[in-house]
Structure 1
Amino acid sequence: MTPLRGIALKLASVILFVIMASLVKAVPEVPTGEVVFFRSAFALPVIIVWLLWRGDLGTGLKANNLVAHALRGVVGVSAMGCNFAALVLLPLPEVTALSYAAPPLTVIFAALLLGERVRLFRISAVVCGLLGVGLVMWPLLTLGEVDARALTGVGFILASAVFRALVQIHIRRMVRTEQTSAIVFYFSLTSTVLALLTLPFGWVMPSMTEFGILVMVGIIGGVAQICLTSAYRGAEAALLAPFDYASILFAILIGYVFFAEVPTAMMLLGSAVVVASGVSLILRERYLGLVRHRARPGMTPQG
């Protein structure tokens, strides 16, 4: 697979995830736990077919550390549920922009939990990223009286960002012993089971239209997950990472066309600051990776 195909798959995953989010937003009457169930359950067949096609079903079913997979499921479902809850309460572009808080938080958690060194450049980029998130939040919280609905939505999406950052840290540990295919399969399986636990909290019988939308949420989510995983087989993570931020463009377009959501100037400014911060971090890490790679030939066997 060429890097160009990897980029194409990455962009496809970004577009599909935004479409999935817009579909979740289109069924506001369906409880969040129920939406999470459909997202996970109907992604499972797609993932199983993909694993069969790749000849990786045996690998996907092999788990060396079930506790790690269960923990990844709990934290991942929490991130997904908070994100879906926020989509009902906030405009799609704002949810997308605020979700960009996850990469700066990942840097912070990597320093606290993994002992990674964080130098001045990364600290500055993280601060700028969080400042951008604050700019996006500002209009939601200061237009006259504080809107309780908006405040709740902001709380949900920031909680989702925290959980997503923790998931990234946890996956960094998991890949030492677990195959990527197993991580993908068991997340969908555990999230389906965990979502079922919300059944006593008021699931509803969806209409035929809602049922169709919920099934599409699962299928599109599964395909997007496969596109994302496959993208990294053809291109380096540092090359693909900036394309995550293309999601804001698609979110603004879909939000405007289908939900009549017009982004504010402050939201656009904040998004630009967050994107600039994230891209600078990515480019810096890529540069340092190239420097380390060039330095290896001259290193001693102990070095």
Structure 2
Amino acid sequence: MHSRKIYTNTKAIAWVTIGTALFSLIFASGKFADGSASPLQILFLRYIGGLATLLLVVLVRRERLSAYRSPKPLSHFIRAVFGASGGGALIYASANMPIVDATALGLLYVVFVIPLGVLVLKEQLSSQHFGAIAICCAGAAIVMASRGAFTEFHMAYVFPAGIAVLGAALLAVEGLMIKMLSHSDRTMTVLLYVNAFGILLMAGPAAMQWVPLSFESAISFILLGPIAVTAQYCIVQGYRLASLSIVGPVDYTWLIFAGLIGFMFFGEKPTLGVAAGSAIIAIGGIMLAIIKPPAGEHESTSSA
């Protein structure tokens, strides 16, 4: 039984790690764009590409959209609101304070999502959980410190810092809702709703920050949609398989993938601190995978 749970946790962590790696490319899209489009504009076009991809999948499967109707559309809408507002809050914070500081505050997501799992879903934490989570946090702190987080913090940053913390909390609630919806609905249902609602929620903000684009640029941002949908699918699958205390800290691997993207595409050389912190995060992830499950915890599976 324990070996089966290790296998399940490992699968969950692998799913979320792949999703995080793909989302790292999405998050770096603003840097790749180099000011040619606003972040909200990129997000809006990404949602369009994502919904188009999902509709194509439905067409290939020769199924009707009604087959993916959820009995909880309001929950999906609320989840999309939390996700869009949380993402928007972090975009605002990154634009109004050092991005490395905003990133560090955004990673408080993990600190928020685990207590939510305990309070709302009645997940059980053992001393092994706390130890593994602490190791992941320590690795993330080392990476952020090596990048100079909070070395120059001015009073002008207090408000955007508060917005960043709020954004992390909103995304934690979204993570909780992903976990809950992944058990009540098919994965495709979850993806269809979030991309459809994402378009509706981001249309106005994107229009206010719209920058004229060439056809090639617009297509490149729309093509982020299939990548994002694949990432979302991986995240939902991982959240379905394991508790938030297992999959939540995997979010810290974003720092590893961000460092790799910076090195491969922007010539940013990782420091010894980044390498050491990344290794510590990986060790924490391995510990999470092999934790002995509390009594009564069971695996959940569902059709896509």
Q: Same fold (TM over 0.5)?
A: yes
Change (3 A) 1:246 1:34: same
Contact conserved, 1:31 with 1:202, CA < 8 A, in 2? Answer: yes
CA distance in 1, matches of 2:178, 2:93: 24
- Paired with 2:58 and 2:33, the residues of 1 have a C-alpha distance of 30
Q: Is the 8 A contact 2:45 2:221 kept in 1?
A: yes
Counterpart residue number, 1:258 = 265
| Residues 1:75 and 2:57 are matched in the alignment | no
Distance 1:90 1:223, change over 3 A: same
Alpha-carbon distance in 1 for matches of 2:78, 2:142: 33
Identity of aligned pairs, percent? Answer: 22
Q: How many residues align?
A: 282
Structure 1 residue 127 displacement after superposition:
3.1
**Residues 22 and 200 of structure 1: is their aligned pair in 2 closer, same or farther, counting only changes over 3 Å?**
closer
Q: 2:27 aligns with which of 1, 17, 21?
A: 21
Pairwise CA distance, 1:117: 2.9
1:204-242 CA deviation, whole Å, 9 max, x = no partner? 21244532332222232234434666x76xx9659x969
Contact 1:60–1:183 (CA under 8 A) maintained in structure 2: no
Determine whether 1:135 maps to 2:162. no
Alpha-carbon distance in structure 1 between the residues aligned to 2:197 and 2:34: 24
Q: Which residue in 2 is equivalent to 1:190?
A: 197
Q: CA deviation digits over 1:89-139, x for unaligned, max 9? A: 647xx95x9876544542222123333333322233333333333333324
Check whether the contact 2:140–2:252 (CA below 8 A) recurs between aligned residues. no
1:168 Cα offset (Å)? 2.2
**Offset of residue 41 of structure 1:** 1.1
1:71 Cα offset (Å): 0.5
Segments of structure 1 that go 5 or more residues without pairing to the other structure are 295-303
Structure 1 residue matching 2:212: 3-state secondary structure = coil
What is the TM-score with the length of structure 1 in the denominator?
A: 0.71
Deviation at 1:15, TM superposition (A): 4.7
One-letter code of the match for 2:224?
A: V
- State the alpha-carbon separation in 1 of the partners of residues 273 and 12 from structure 2: 33
**8 Å CA contact retained: 1:21, 1:84:** no
1:103–1:278 CA contact under 8 A, matched in 2? no
Q: How do 1:20-169 residues align onto structure 2 when only pairs under 5 Å count?
A: 20-29=26-35, 30-55=37-62, 57-58=64-65, 61-82=68-89, 90=99, 102-138=109-145, 139-143=147-151, 145-146=152-153, 161-169=168-176
Q: Matched residue of 1:42: which SS? A: helix
Q: 1:14 to 1:51 in 2, by over 3 A?
A: farther
Partner residue, 2:293: 288
Q: 1:237 to 1:50 in 2, by over 3 A?
A: farther
Q: Deviations over 1:253-293 (max 9, x none)?
A: 32113222222333333333333333322321xx327x758
How is 1:217-256 mapped onto 2 (pairs within 5 angstroms)? Answer: 217-226=224-233, 250-256=257-263
Compute the TM-score of the two structures, normalised by the length of structure 2. 0.71
Counterparts of 1:161 and 1:251 in 2: how far apart (Å)? 18
Give the superposition deviation at 1:199.
4.0
- How far does residue 250 in structure 1 lie from its aligned partner after superposition? 4.4
Read off the aligned partner of 1:184 and give its amino acid letter. Answer: L
Is 1:269 the counterpart of 2:280? The answer is: no
**Residue 223 and residue 292 in structure 1: after superposition, are their counterparts in 2 closer, same or farther (change >3 A)?**
closer
Q: Which moved more, 1:215-224 or 1:52-61?
A: 52-61
Structure 1 range deviating more: 181-190 or 111-120: 111-120
What is the identity, as a one-letter code, of the residue corresponding to 1:110?
G
- Alignment-mate amino acid for residue 21 of structure 1: F
SS at match of 2:223: helix
Note the C-alpha offset of 1:46.
0.3
